[in-house]
Structure 1
Amino acid sequence: MMDKTKYFVVKKKAIPEVLLKVVETKRLLATNRGMTIQEATDEIGISRSSFYKYKDDIFPFHENEKGQTVTMVIQLDDTPGAMAELLQKVAEYKANILTIHQSIPINGVATITLSVEVLAGTGNMSDMVDELEQHEGVHYLKIVGRE
């Protein structure tokens, strides 16, 4: 039986150099607000295409995850109760919902930006994201930020 886990904790020495450089580029952009992506990638020594390819897929793991904010973009069917069911899943994991923004549905699909805070009693975030992603009516889910 294939494991459905989509998130892993990997030691730094096992991560390809390009991914480490993507993380460093993101850190550089976050600390130097006026810096362009081209300037940051040039300074770190990776191509812009490598940065764009991996920028949403790698985040540093913080030992103290509690109090961390996770922001997701979710595309969801525009059906009565669909968002309520999704938010109920978040509540089951005891994550604190900080913000919800829903766009006007287009062709029966709404785009939702959801920010949640990981607290001391919050369940496994990887499991929560996996359940949200597998939820009926969800077309797309992507983690767009972690602070």
Structure 2
Amino acid sequence: MTEPTKYFVVTKKAVPEVLLKVVEAKRLLESGKLPTIQDAVDAVGISRSSFYKYKDDIFPFHDSTQGKTVTLSMQIEDEPGLLSDVLQVIAQFGANILTIHQSIPINGVAALSISVQVLQTTKDISEMLDAMEKRTGVHSVKILAKE
């Protein structure tokens, strides 16, 4: 009996360089910028064997989220308009908000969970999370679940 596939969400800084280069080679191929695997691996500086070893096991987070529900957890300061700013980021990236739950602020910070549906037209979720974290008053953004 085979063990079920397990997935992990890690930040880019925790991913070995060879895996990031495999993702970049795949992007070059998919975009049509380079016509062959050999051209792509030469451009990013990895071997063909490394590419083939990892190509089916590494992909940008956004590619695995289309058509899924992603639940986010964040800590935000209790400031007028900050929740609206966070929701505006979601709207700008084209995700569909399904649920919002905000706790009563304690010491000026509220826990917030938001579930969003990732559509075919939704822009890169990783970039959306980054845009949220860059908002003044947002302390952290974490992915709780992907269904």
| Superposition TM-score tier, normalisation by shorter sequence | 0.5 to 0.7
Give the match for residue 74 of structure 1. Answer: 74
Do the aligned residues in 1 keep the contact of 2:95 with 2:116 (CA within 8 Å)?
A: yes
Cα distance between partner residues in 1 of 2:105 and 2:63 = 38
- Check 1:99–1:105 CA distance in 2 against 1; reply closer, same or farther (3 A cut): same
Give the match for residue 90 of structure 1. Answer: 90
Cα deviation, 1:32-65, whole Å, max 9, x if unaligned, reads xxxxxxxxxxxxxxxxxxxxxxxxxxxx969663
Cα distance between partner residues in 2 of 1:120 and 1:138 = 27
AA in 2 matched with 1:144: L
Rg (Cα) greater in structure:
2
Count of aligned pairs: 97
Cα distance between partner residues in 2 of 1:63 and 1:123 = 10
Cα deviation, 1:53-86, whole Å, max 9, x if unaligned, reads xxxxxxx969663211111111001011010011
Give the % identical residues: 48
SS in 1 for 2:73: strand
Cα deviation, 1:64-111, whole Å, max 9, x if unaligned, reads 632111111110010110100110010000100011000000011110
Shift of 1:133: 1.2
In structure 2, stretches of 5+ residues that fail to align are: 1-10, 20-59
Cα distance between partner residues in 2 of 1:120 and 1:131 = 20
TM-score (norm 2): 0.58
Q: CA RMSD in A?
A: 2.8
TM-score (norm 1): 0.58
Alignment map for 1:45-64 (pairs within 5 Å): none
In structure 1, stretches of 5+ residues that fail to align are: 1-5, 15-59
Cα distance between partner residues in 1 of 2:62 and 2:140 = 26
